[in-house]
Amino acid sequence: MRALSLSAFTALAFWSVGPLQAQTEKSLYERLGGKPAIAAVVNDFVGAVGRDKRISGFFAKADIGNLKTRLVEQICAVTGGPCSYGGRDMKAAHAGLGIRAEDFSALVEDLGATLNKRKIPKKEQSELVSLLAPLRDQIVTR
């Protein structure tokens, strides 16, 4: 009898949690398509930035392989994915580059174009941009 009531309790617990979980929105990480989709976006994005004459000069001496790895980690981490960012903080990473507000805008524009190309819905695009935009003050130095 005790075992029966315990399993009845377990069944009830699952029954009540199930519908609640269904209502909870998935993380942005999951909605973007997880790590493979984020890696594909980062790959295209870094390519687009490299072709953008307004800002490509900044990346002339950058280690592009490392940049892609770090960006994937960072986007995975801030969107709720199972990653931790292992790079430098944003202030240290961009110190001395002399990035202006217009350079930052150009990069965000390239990100938007890449997200459109990859068919990321507008809702997810704006959530991602909202997570990255606050980093502007650590990156823009003039």
Among 32, 55, 115, 128, binds ligand HEM (CB under 6 A): 55
Whether residue 47 contacts residue 117, with contact meaning beta carbons closer than 8 Å, is answered with no
User: CB 85 → ligand HEM: shortest distance, Å?
Assistant: 7
The residues near 28 (Cβ < 8 Å, ≥ 6 apart) are 79, 80, 124, 127, 128, 131
Note whether 58 binds ligand HEM by CB under 6 A.
yes
Among 93, 109, 118, 125, binds ligand HEM (CB under 6 A): 93
Among 56, 77, 53, 64, smallest CA distance to 128 is for: 77
Among 69, 66, 80, smallest CA distance to 32 is for: 80
User: Among the candidate windows 14-22, 36-44, 51-59, 114-122, which touches ligand HEM by CB under 6 A?
Assistant: 51-59
Note whether 59 binds ligand HEM by CB under 6 A.
yes
The pair of structure tokens assigned to 94 is 């961009």
The residues near 101 (Cβ < 8 Å, ≥ 6 apart) are 136, 140
User: Among the candidate windows 15-23, 33-41, 98-106, 119-127, which touches ligand HEM by CB under 6 A?
Assistant: 98-106
The span from the CA of 56 to the CA of 42, in Å, is 15
Comparing CB distances to ligand HEM, the nearer of 13 and 82 is 82
The count of chain residues that interact with ligand HEM, using the rule CB under 6 A, is 22
Task: Name the site residues for ligand HEM (rule: CB under 6 A).
Answer: 55, 58-59, 62-63, 66-67, 70-71, 74, 87-88, 93-94, 97, 99, 103-104, 107, 132, 135, 139
